[in-house]
Amino acid sequence: MTRFIHNFKILKIVTLFILVTFTTATVYSQAYTKEELQDSIATQPYFSIHKDNFLVSGVPTNKAINSATANAKYQISFKQILTRSKLPLDTYLFLTYTQKSFWNIYEDSFPFKDINFNPSIAIGKFFYDKENRLKGVGTLSFEHESNGRDSIASRSWNRINLEYTTGIYKNTVASFKAWLPFSYKEGNPDLLEYVGLGQINVSHTYQPDKLIFDLRLRKGLNFEGKGSVRARVYYNPFGNNISNQYLMLEWYVGQAEGLLNYQQSQSMIRIGYVIRTNEFRWFNGRKK
């Protein structure tokens, strides 16, 4: 536990350093106008990436490294737009599906330790300032997450989410997400002690299509150190012709990375390949 707290403090210090250092990056873009954004959206495919799609592997920093503690994690995630500004108040309707798996590839028979299924249906809306320039994106969604198992291994919860994404600084985008959970007390009655009632995600593009830093914070409903910090560094070694593929270094510290053993504290460092989402690319604006 002492080692976990130590790692947690180190990660917070590193994260603060990254944010302070790189928020001084040079501006290379301007905000989209409403007309420009609508034209851009009109040409986008209805089917696209939602969250990052990746395959990473790594080891713990808070326990012995062996075939049972080292693992791989992969995620597939997509989004299907159902309407484009056809609903009242210029809102649009879309579906998402994300599947995250923890794979013990270093053990015999390569067993899957935990698989989490996460579908949602959502309504989104763009917000503009007085000059009709993009200010933020709001989303209201119903989300389900479960591990598809039964008996004592069953884990699931449902929630109504309200999320707002906006640019907070030069090349820096933040998402603020809050949820109202329900139907979670059977199988994981203390889940909120570890996932809380919301999260904050901050992403900073230091070099467009090349180097990106990302931080997600969650705090459980408790007065203890329960919750999680997830820090990611994306680096694209493939050149500008492949702008959405990166190598990703991830450090996850805390609980509830997966549903099955959500109460367990861990510190995992993983590295691997990612097809990164560009869902909120508009906040990086138009290149001059």
DSSP at 19: H
The reply, when asked if residue 218 is annotated as ligand binding, is: no
Exactly one of 77, 146, 265, 267 is catalytic; which is it?
A: 146
Q: How many CA atoms lie within 13 A of 272 on its CB side?
A: 18
Q: How many CA atoms lie within 13 A of 162 on its CB side?
A: 3
Buried b (16+ CB within 10 A) or exposed e, 220-253: beeeeebbbbbbbbbebeeeeeeebbbebbbbbb
Q: With contact defined as beta carbons under 8 Å apart, do 187 and 154 qualify?
A: yes
Q: Is 146 a known active-site residue?
A: yes
Helix, strand or coil for residue 153?
Answer: helix
CA separation for the pair 98, 119 (Å, rounded): 6
The reply, when asked if residue 109 is annotated as ligand binding, is: yes
The reply, when asked if residue 154 is annotated as ligand binding, is: yes
Q: Which helix (H) or strand (E) holds 195?
A: helix 192-195
CA separation for the pair 48, 184 (Å, rounded): 30
Q: Is 144 a known active-site residue?
A: yes
User: Catalytic positions, please?
Assistant: 144, 146
Known binding-site residues for Ca(2+) equal: 109, 149, 154
Known binding-site residues equal: 109, 149, 154
